[in-house]
Amino acid sequence: MPSRGNVYVLEFSSRRIVVFNSQGQWLRDFPAQTDMNDGRGLAIDTTHDLLYAVGALKQRLFKFNYAGTMLKEIDSPTGSFGVKTDPKFNSIRFPAVDSATGNVYVGDTWGYRVWAFNQSLAPLSGFTSTPSPPADGG
């Protein structure tokens, strides 16, 4: 299912990704994800045919293929899901993808950092973003 010319929209209320063609006609919806509350960003990796979405309320990063199948969900900078002892994201937003490498970057608003993952959503060991709150509190 090629993405060329299609528009992908992360829909806030329905917790779905909606696909339109280049003329704005609806094509399909991805299945709703119950943990994708408060959708805060979508990134498309056109090289590897993958999409990444953020659900900020429950601090989730999702990986999908173009067909709409959810391939992976994580809730932790360690790349885990549902492991209570692992550290958790702190208000993640706006994924970005490097299509050359497949690496995924996610901003963590209240953690004051950027998290980096490989295409499998495992943390990148060589990437560090030291927590750094804004100067003078703002």
Q: Which domains does the chain have, with CATH numbers?
A: 7-137 (2.120.10.30)
What is the Cβ-side half-sphere exposure of residue 121, based on CA atoms within 13 angstroms?
23
Please write the tens of the pLDDT for every residue from 48-96: 999 999 998 999 999 999 999 999 999 999 999 999 999 999 999 999 9
| Contact partners, residue 97, CB within 8 Å, separation at least 6 | 43, 44, 45, 50, 52, 103, 104, 105
Per-residue pLDDT tens over the stretch 6-55: 999 999 888 999 999 999 999 999 999 988 999 999 999 999 999 999 99
Rg of the chain in Å (alpha carbons): 15
> What residue type is assigned to position 104 of the chain?
V
- The helix/strand/coil state of 92 is strand
